[in-house]
Amino acid sequence: MDHLTPEARSRNMARIPSRDTTPELVVRKFLHAHGLRFRLHRRDLPGKPDLVFPGRRTVLFVHGCFWHGCPKCIDGTRKVKSNQAYWNPKIAGNRERDARHAATLQATGWKVFTVWECETVDSQQLHQLAKQIMRMPLAPRY
């Protein structure tokens, strides 16, 4: 049961940002410190990836565990506690949409990486990500 009124809950939800979130800023800062340069939130690509490495034809999504249904967290810390009739289908729809965007990007020659919010606290995982992105071949310039 929600302890907030519908109006208060609506105000809270409206204040949650969709870009420049703390996990996204952590990843951006880490990758930039490791020499990687990127573009942010390209609207011309499906799903508006959080980070785009155009020269490597690589995109990176930084997903919030709750909003995008992290497979590691959805049954534990980020489990839906109230209004499950709304949130469970909403999160499932978000996951389907994310998969569609990734498939479209891959079909057009982009390499897609996803970092989950829960992974941003582990510098080892971020270091592995940086190494993977740096290994991506540079696309030829025409």
Give the pLDDT of residue 83: 80
Q: Kindly state the average pLDDT of the residues 68-86.
A: 78
Alpha-carbon distance 99 to 81, whole Å? 25
Alpha-carbon distance 56 to 50, whole Å? 15
The hierarchical CATH code for the domain 16-135 is 3.40.960.10
Q: Is the pLDDT of residue 1 over 80?
A: no
Give the pLDDT of residue 141: 72
Q: Is the pLDDT of residue 111 over 60?
A: yes
Alpha-carbon distance 87 to 26, whole Å? 27
Nearest to 124 by CA among 61, 25, 30, 23: 30
How many helices and strands in the chain, by DSSP H and E? 5, 4
Give the pLDDT of residue 67: 87
Give the pLDDT of residue 35: 95
Alpha-carbon distance 67 to 51, whole Å? 18
Strands laid side by side in the 51-53 sheet: 39-40, 51-53, 58-63, 111-116
Domain chopping of the chain, boundaries: 16-135
